[in-house]
Amino acid sequence: MPASEETGSGPVIHDRRRIDPVTGQVRGKHVASKPAGTSGAGRPGPGAAGDEAADSAEASGSARSAGSREDQDIQETQYPEEVPEVVEQQAAPRGRQQVPAQDAEDGNQAADLEAQLAERTADLQRLQAEYANYRKRVDRDRVAVREQAVVGTLAGLLPVLDAIDQAREHGELSGGFKSVADSLQSATSRLGLVTYGEKGDPFDPKIHEALTSSYSSDVAEDTCVEILQPGYKVGDRILRPARVAVAEPATGPDGTSNEPEWTAEEDSGG
């Protein structure tokens, strides 16, 4: 409440209210308005300075005490202790709503990143598999082309090798020609050319070509009794089958003769 005090020059009123009644704003602590109705002419004279100063100090102390209590009442009224709790309670739901929303957004981003990573990994694996298959196919084609080229070259040299073999059988392979023939045969061997066909080998129509056939009691199965031309192969590919003379068994498993019976009419041509 406002405090008033009478002095020798008239009543002095001190306004200690916390809220300015004119502007409605909160005043600073321990700030009071100027005494109402005071001016330079209304000041007490020098003669009564001591007594008036003491009275004024006592009145000021009382007014200050009353003003402090009033300020405390006003502060407690305007700023109750429950205000922070109310603000916290009002702000808490918004905070709880923002946190799940942020977590959901982060979860969606993580899921998108995982999906992109899985897609890129699958693309990389697919590309690596395609590249591995491409390399295998290229290597296989390269080997096939090389074999085809070698086979074509060696097939063209077979007549030359046959002529060399005939010259060797007749004893005409000598001198410088013999050195050339040996070098040629060594080169073809390095390229994979293999000569096959030996006397006494079982006859195999897959790798042998029978030029003549006869019956013999010395063999138990079809046998190559003579090699007319050797056979040549590169790996499992037959360049030329061996041309042979075949001898068949004279008697069958049951002891009957396999040789055909010739009649006199057949021998005379009738």
* pLDDT tens by residue, 39-60: 443 444 444 444 444 455 455 5
> What percent of the chain lies above the pLDDT cut of 90?
34
Query: Residue 75: pLDDT above 90?
Result: no
Same domain, residue pair 251 and 207: yes
Boundaries of domain holding 222:
196-260
**pLDDT at position 137:** 94
Length of the chain: 270
- Whether 244 is covered by a domain: the verdict is yes
pLDDT greater at residue 196 or residue 12: 196
Q: Structurally, how many domains does the chain consist of?
A: 3
- Whether 92 is covered by a domain: the verdict is no
Assess contact for 197 and 227: CB atoms under 8 A: yes
Q: How far apart are CA 262 and CA 269, in angstroms?
A: 11
Same domain, residue pair 73 and 15: yes
Query: Residue 208: pLDDT above 90?
Result: yes
Same domain, residue pair 72 and 58: yes
Q: 85-89, 109-113, 207-211, 241-245: which has the minimum mean pLDDT?
A: 85-89
Same domain, residue pair 139 and 166: yes
Same domain, residue pair 186 and 200: no
pTM listed for this prediction: 0.48
Using DSSP, state whether 151 is helix, strand or coil: helix
- Whether 43 is covered by a domain: the verdict is no
**pLDDT at position 183:** 92
Same domain, residue pair 217 and 252: yes
Assess contact for 245 and 210: CB atoms under 8 A: yes
With bands split at pLDDT 50, 70 and 90, how would you rate the model's confidence at 83? very low
- Whether 237 is covered by a domain: the verdict is yes
Query: Residue 67: pLDDT above 70?
Result: no
Q: What does the pLDDT look like over 137-146, one tens digit per residue?
A: 999 999 889 8
Q: How far apart are CA 21 and CA 31, in angstroms?
A: 14
- Range of 61-70, 88-97, 120-129, 209-218 with top mean pLDDT: 120-129
With bands split at pLDDT 50, 70 and 90, how would you rate the model's confidence at 255? low
- Whether 249 is covered by a domain: the verdict is yes
Assess contact for 230 and 224: CB atoms under 8 A: no
Tokens found for residue 56: 């004024």
Same domain, residue pair 224 and 256: yes
Q: What does the pLDDT look like over 190-206, one tens digit per residue?
A: 999 999 999 989 999 99
Tokens found for residue 58: 């006592």
- Whether 55 is covered by a domain: the verdict is yes
Using DSSP, state whether 2 is helix, strand or coil: coil
- Whether 135 is covered by a domain: the verdict is yes
Query: Which residue(s) pair with 66 in the sheet?
Result: none
**pLDDT at position 203:** 93
CATH number at residue 203: 2.30.22.10
Same domain, residue pair 65 and 128: no
Assess contact for 8 and 44: CB atoms under 8 A: yes
Tokens found for residue 60: 């000021």
Same domain, residue pair 174 and 201: no
